[in-house]
């Protein structure tokens, strides 16, 4: 007697969108097919909107180009960058799912030291569905991982953890270096596979990379604005870092967690360091004032939702960074435009609902 085959439903198949910014055919999806095909893709086409982007057959996707962005957002389209991967945040805006995974089109499936292919999406999902521990560092890293736990001396009152809002993955092969480091180390490749996930402590900033990133859209999506970069702007390649600094400050304020470490992807292509230097050079100077700004930010207790936090943060950007360069006054205004666009396209994600999600979301407590 034959036994019917059991259909395995991937985790969060109906609750997660994969967002991909691109200017080229998405042949790279063939390598990700077994991992990505059960999920819905949102493709944000940058550059020439008349160019046809080829997507391999069998994927469920929607594709937006600049004409679509202008049509959907109207005057608010000014907040979406052009000719820069920062355009990916438009996908966050139009998604209706609870979670987002975003990846660049030059990122492929990596292998762990045993030679097994790494399902990066599955690891991000695990990171997001298990708690984070931002208030006290566990020296065995992620205590919710199989084979690990809280070490002696870890306060029992903090072992429940908090909801994880962001899962930040890493890269083998081409490391995510800035232009000066690329120029000094043109042949350097990352071959170190560190089998660890850790929570970034409260009060600690980090340089977020958007090429391998998962997050809880309902809890932190409004803060995942990748800023004004690229065409017509004085800076580039700081889009994901800007979003990371803003989101980390807001996660700390709202009591949410941010993890970094696994999963790894294989970053295949090094960008031109001379082109990168032209994009980055102002940011390299500015970040020496930007970082102390974010380190000193204190949001008022009345800011109980990511939207309220982000609007308040936009005011502080204008007040404290406006003297650094007029760009920050413009950026501050577009941060508000972004929130207006978010609320317009996501009217159900008001403060009450987000607060309720925060209270009930997360994995079972560690025993």
Q: CA 261 to CA 132: how far, in whole Å? A: 13
pLDDT of the residue at 362: 41
Gap between the terminal Cα atoms of the chain: 42
**Model pTM?**
0.94
- Residue 261's DSSP bridge partners are 169, 197
| Rounded mean pLDDT, 234-244 | 97
Beta strand pairing call for 197-199 and 107-108 = unpaired
Which of left, alpha, beta for 74 (phi over 0: left; psi -120 to 50: alpha)? left
Count Cβ atoms within 10 A of the Cβ of residue 302 and give its class: 0-12 exposed, 13-18 middle, 19 or more buried. exposed
| Rounded mean pLDDT, 240-248 | 98
- 352 pLDDT more than 60: no
* CA distances from residue 288 to 207, 226, 335 in whole angstroms, order as listed: 13, 19, 21
pLDDT of the residue at 43: 98
Q: CA 166 to CA 217: how far, in whole Å? A: 9
- 7 pLDDT more than 50: yes
Residue with tokens 């970034």: 200
Mean pLDDT lowest for which of 34-38, 311-315, 334-338, 353-357?
353-357
């Amino acid at each position: 007697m034959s036994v019917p085959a059991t259909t395995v439903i991937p985790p969060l198949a109906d609750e997660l969108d994969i967002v991909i910014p691109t200017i080229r055919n998405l042949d790279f999806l063939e390598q990700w097919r077994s991992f990505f095909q059960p999920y819905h893709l949102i493709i944000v086409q940058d550059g020439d909107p008349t160019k046809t982007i080829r997507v391999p057959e069998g994927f469920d996707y929607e594709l937006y180009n600049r004409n679509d962005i202008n049509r959907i957002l109207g005057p608010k389209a000014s907040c979406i960058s052009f000719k820069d991967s920062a355009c990916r945040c438009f996908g966050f805006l139009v998604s209706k799912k609870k979670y987002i995974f975003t990846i660049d089109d030059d990122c492929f499936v990596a292998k762990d030291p045993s030679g097994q292919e790494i399902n990066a999406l599955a690891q991000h999902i695990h990171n997001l569905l298990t708690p984070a521990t931002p208030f006290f560092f566990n020296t065995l890293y992620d205590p919710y991982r199989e084979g690990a736990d809280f070490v002696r001396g870890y306060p029992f009152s903090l072992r429940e953890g908090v909801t994880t809002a962001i899962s930040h993955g890493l890269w083998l092969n081409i490391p995510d270096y800035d232009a000066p480091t690329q120029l000094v180390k043109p042949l350097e490749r990352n071959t170190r596979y560190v089998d660890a996930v850790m929570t970034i402590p409260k009060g600690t900033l980090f340089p977020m990379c958007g090429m391998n990133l998962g997050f809880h859209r309902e809890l932190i999506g409004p803060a995942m604005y990748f800023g004004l970069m690229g065409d017509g702007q004085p800076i580039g390649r700081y889009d994901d870092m800007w979003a990371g600094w803003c989101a980390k400050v807001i996660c700390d304020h709202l009591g949410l967690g941010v993890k970094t470490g696994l999963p790894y992807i294989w970053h295949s292509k090094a960008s031109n360091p001379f082109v990168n230097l032209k994009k980055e050079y102002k940011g390299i100077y500015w970040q020496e004032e930007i970082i102390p700004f974010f380190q000193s930010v204190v949001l008022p207790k009345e800011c109980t939702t990511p939207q309220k936090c982000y609007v308040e943060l936009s005011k502080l950007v204008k007040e404290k960074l406006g003297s650094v360069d007029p760009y920050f006054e413009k950026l501050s205004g577009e941060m508000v435009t972004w929130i207006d666009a978010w609320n317009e396209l996501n009217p159900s994600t008001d403060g009450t609902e987000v607060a309720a999600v925060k209270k009930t979301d997360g994995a079972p407590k560690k025993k």
